[in-house]
């Protein structure tokens, strides 16, 4: 069960954050903060709207005694129905400044990829088009090296500024980011992504707009955008595609409770009708077991499951 918001550690953090002008919510439903639209309450959610406030939270001496994590747009996570027993630092919608100068965009971690792409279009800058439809934040995109249609974050990022456990700021250049397929140096590092610097090239606005519309049309045709989901549930297996294997095993349209394997794209699990987190977890397990038994391929989950 989630911590009581009046327990010692949570209450102390709440008082500390509030005294520093940081918005806080207790027992906030995580279904409001994830693209799957599932998940129970969080003991405490913090919404720092500046890097200085984020540093305040990270430097609080009692933070190490409380379970905590940073959340972007919630597009690649699955929280349990019981909720999160601790504190969540939410950056989406708060730490979201985006600025451009001479083809260089600096975006804070909570800024949505779609917003960064719109600014790039306005300034006649190309490179963001394949990523423009991904429903994630810039911080989450760097964390996972997000990509689509042949474009990845590693192609445009020049540096990422992080805050370590002591609240110290450090800019890390691209060559040290260890970008790979849906991975980076940040996974398991404990560093918090605060800002990303992107370098783009000049191009005709009409060409950029056409490319963005093309990628958008492809998504609408091939992806179940009309339902809550977390995008591709599984990482791409070597020399194959998760969606193809899942469809090959006859799992398209299979459902557990309100969760269903998309009829449009078998790599997606959708919240078709009031799904619970457990419905989605059970369906993930069913898919992995079935695909492994029939093909020998053990699918690796791309969505982070947080109990």
DSSP string for the chain: -PPPTTSHHHHHHHHHHHHTT-EEEEEEEGGGSSTT----EEEEEEE--SHHHHHHHHH-TTGGGS-EEEESS-SSEEE-TT-EEEEEEE-TTTS--EEEETTEEEEETTSBHHHHHHHHHHTTEES-GGGTT--SBHHHHHHHT-EETTEEGGGTEEEEEEE-TT--EEEEEGGGS--BTTB-TTTTT--EEEEEEEE-EE--HHHHHHHHHHHHHHHHHHS-TTS-EEEE-BPPPTTS-HHHHHHHTT-TT-EETTEEE-SS-TTEEEE-SS--HHHHHHHHHHHHHHHHHHHS--PPB-SEEE-
Residues 249 and 150 in one domain: no
Q: What is the domain extent for residue 248?
A: 225-306
- For residue 120, give the CATH number of its domain: 3.30.465.10
Sign (positive or negative) of CA dihedral 177, 92, 181, 130: negative
Q: What is the pLDDT of residue 135?
A: 92
Residues 12 and 61 in one domain: yes
Last residue within a domain, chosen from 157, 180, 207 = 207
Give the phi and the psi of residue 289 in degrees, each rounded to 5.
-65, -45
Decide if 216 is inside a domain. Answer: no
Residues 150 and 189 in one domain: yes
Decide if 35 is inside a domain. Answer: yes
- For residue 47, give the CATH number of its domain: 3.30.43.10
Decide if 85 is inside a domain. Answer: yes
Rounded CA gap, 111 and 95, in Å?
7
Q: Residue 85 has which token pair?
A: 């027993």
Residues 67 and 109 in one domain: no
Rounded CA gap, 53 and 57, in Å?
6
CA dihedral 218, 197, 153, 32 (to 10 degrees): -70
Residues 126 and 202 in one domain: yes
Residues 69 and 105 in one domain: no
Last residue within a domain, chosen from 48, 64, 90 = 90
Decide if 126 is inside a domain. Answer: yes
Residues 82 and 105 in one domain: no
Decide if 173 is inside a domain. Answer: yes
Last residue within a domain, chosen from 57, 90, 123 = 90
Residues 281 and 229 in one domain: yes
Decide if 244 is inside a domain. Answer: yes
Catalytic residues: 182, 232, 302
* Cβ 142 vs Cβ 192: under 8 Å: no
- Which residue shows structure tokens 């995008």? 231
Q: What is the CA radius of gyration of the chain?
A: 20
Residues 291 and 234 in one domain: yes
Decide if 161 is inside a domain. Answer: yes
Q: What is the pLDDT of residue 8?
A: 78
Q: What is the pLDDT of residue 138?
A: 96
Decide if 220 is inside a domain. Answer: no
Q: What is the pLDDT along the chain (307 residues), one digit of tens a residue?
A: 445 676 879 999 999 999 999 999 999 999 999 999 999 999 999 999 999 999 999 989 899 899 999 999 999 999 999 999 999 999 998 899 999 999 999 999 999 999 999 999 999 999 999 999 999 999 999 999 999 999 999 999 999 999 987 778 999 999 999 999 889 999 989 899 999 999 999 999 999 999 999 999 999 999 999 999 999 999 999 999 999 999 999 999 999 999 999 999 999 999 999 999 999 999 999 999 999 999 999 999 999 999 9
**Beta strands 125-126 and 104-108: pairing type?**
unpaired
Rounded CA gap, 195 and 111, in Å?
9
Give the phi and the psi of residue 240 in degrees, each rounded to 5.
-160, -175
Residues 121 and 184 in one domain: yes
Residues 182 and 248 in one domain: no
**Total domains, the chain:** 3
Q: What is the pLDDT of residue 2?
A: 47
Residues 229 and 195 in one domain: no
- For residue 246, give the CATH number of its domain: 3.90.78.10
Rounded CA gap, 102 and 130, in Å?
21
């Amino acid at each position: 069960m989630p911590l009581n918001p009046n327990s010692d550690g949570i209450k102390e953090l709440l008082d500390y954050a509030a005294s520093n002008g940081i918005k806080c919510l207790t027992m906030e439903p995580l279904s409001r903060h994830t693209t799957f639209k599932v998940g129970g309450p969080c003991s405490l959610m913090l919404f720092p709207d500046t890097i200085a406030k984020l540093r305040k939270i990270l430097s609080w001496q009692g933070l190490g005694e409380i379970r905590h994590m940073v959340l972007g747009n919630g597009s690649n996570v699955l929280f349990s129905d019981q909720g999160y027993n601790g504190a969540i630092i939410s950056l989406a919608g708060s730490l979201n400044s985006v600025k451009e100068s001479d083809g260089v965009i600096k975006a804070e971690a909570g800024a949505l990829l779609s917003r960064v792409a719109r600014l790039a279009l306005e300034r006649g800058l190309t490179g963001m088009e394949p990523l423009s439809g991904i429903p994630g934040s810039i911080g989450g995109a760097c964390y996972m090296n997000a990509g689509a249609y042949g474009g990845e974050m590693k192609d445009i990022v020049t540096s990422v500024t992080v805050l370590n456990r002591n609240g110290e700021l450090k800019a890390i250049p691209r060559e040290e980011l260890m970008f790979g397929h849906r991975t980076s140096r940040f996974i398991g590092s404990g560093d918090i992504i605060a800002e990303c610097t992107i370098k783009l090239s000049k191009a005709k606005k009409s060409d950029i707009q056409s490319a963005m519309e093309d990628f958008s049309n492809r998504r609408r045709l091939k992806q179940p955008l009309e339902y809550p989901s977390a995008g591709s549930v599984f990482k791409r297996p070597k020399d194959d595609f998760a969606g193809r294997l899942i469809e090959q095993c006859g799992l398209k349209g299979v459902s557990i409770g309100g969760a269903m394997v998309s009829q449009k794209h078998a790599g997606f699990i959708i919240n078709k009708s009031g799904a619970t987190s457990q419905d989605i977890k059970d369906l993930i397990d069913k898919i992995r077991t079935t695909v492994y038994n029939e093909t020998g391929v053990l699918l690796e989950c791309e969505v982070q499951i947080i109990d």
